[in-house]
Amino acid sequence: MRLVVSNINVGLWTAAYVKNTLQRFAPTVDKPFVLGLPTGGTVLDMYALLRSFIKERLLSFQHVITFNMDEYIGLPQEHPQSYHSYMRRNLFEHIAMPAEQIFIPNGQAADLKQECERYEHEIAQAGGVQLFIGGVGCNGHIAFNEPGTPFNSRTHVTDLAPSTLEANARFFQNDMTRVPRQAITVGIGTLLDSKELLFIASGVKKAAAVAHCVCQEPNVNWPISALNLHPHATLLADLDACVLLCGEAKNKLDVARQKNPYAEQWEILLEEPT
Ligand code: GLP
């Protein structure tokens, strides 16, 4: 895993990364790019910049297939806080992309187990995900894989951790009891099957998750630490999210910042975990 510490807004960094990756890949109708997408506050700026790239014709999603990571169970798709609504609002209603290229788990399916299997099948049919982008929960969750989820898990129904209900209450009039208690999420194994992973952490609230991922051995109690098991994974963090780094990572970041304090980013190469 590589750690990139961004000195600019992580959302903007990520949008530029998506643009460069898509331009290099040059998707066509016969060779579409399969992109895994997240929701959450951290990536709002990424969507804003992607929208303007598309509007200015610097980027096209014409031959892109998208898979979202997760969706609440029991929330109608039209509810403003459903991830279907989030994606429509922040991306899909602004770009010309055929509905059949957009995949989001259906949290209202009558048979949720079957829906999870269908989702895995759709990903496989699309040839697997090329690049999966994700945020990180304060408790280290990735997608809605809460602490304790096995690293080989596939798309499944999950109970949200109390700390996640608390963190997401801000989207539900700050009332924890209004936050849906369950979600469908791609599994950690599903994510690890992607060709590339890019996870983003911003702010001091994510500092514990970043430190556990970077400074400790992979551990199911911190799902983000599964990134260490992937051959092509990047953790992108801003300086606030790095305040709890320790040991080798902290030393390397301090040295890199002293050498080049105004750099846009500092890339920290770490020893492989044993
Ligand atoms: C939700 C999503 C996660 C996301 C997390 C972080 O819990 N299911 O995929 O990583 O939010 O959100 P934020 O960026 O708002 O901190």
**Domains along the chain?**
9-198 (3.40.50.1360)
Residues contacting residue 201 through CB under 8 Å, at least 6 positions apart? 10, 42, 135, 136, 209, 210, 224, 235, 236, 237, 238, 241
**Residue ranges around ligand 1 (CB below 6 Å):** 38-42, 69-70, 134-137, 143-144, 164, 168
Supply the pTM of this predicted model. 0.96
Residues of the chain with pLDDT under 50: 274
Could you tell me which of 138, 126, 119, 17 has the C-alpha nearest to residue 70?
Answer: 119
Shortest-distance Cα residue to atom 3 of ligand 1: 143
What is the rounded CA–CA span in Å between residue 156 and residue 136? 18
Which of 82, 136, 142, 159 has the most ligand 1 atoms within 8 A of CB, as the residue to mutate? 136
Put the strands of the sheet holding 196-201 in their side by side order.
102-103, 64-68, 33-37, 131-134, 196-201, 233-238, 2-6, 265-269
Ligand 1 center to 219 CA (angstroms):
20
Shortest-distance Cα residue to atom 1 of ligand 1: 40
pLDDT value of residue 117? 98
pLDDT value of residue 274? 40
Alpha helices (H) along the chain = 10-25, 44-55, 83-90, 112-125, 162-168, 188-192, 207-215, 247-259
Burial class (CB in 10 A: 0-12, 13-18, 19+), 100: exposed
pLDDT value of residue 51? 97
Atom of ligand 1 nearest to the CA of 144: 8
pLDDT value of residue 272? 62
Cβ atoms of 64 and 35 closer than 8 Å: yes
pLDDT value of residue 270? 79
Structure tokens, 140: 């280290």
Could you tell me which of 21, 6, 4, 5 has the C-alpha nearest to residue 196?
Answer: 21
Ligand 1 center to 258 CA (angstroms):
32
Ligand 1 center to 155 CA (angstroms):
17
Q: What do you get for the CA distance between the two ends of the chain, in Å?
A: 13
25 HSE (CA, 13 A, CB side): 23
Shortest-distance Cα residue to atom 12 of ligand 1: 40
pLDDT value of residue 140? 98
Backbone φ and ψ of 207, nearest 5°: -65, -40
Ligand 1 center to 42 CA (angstroms):
7
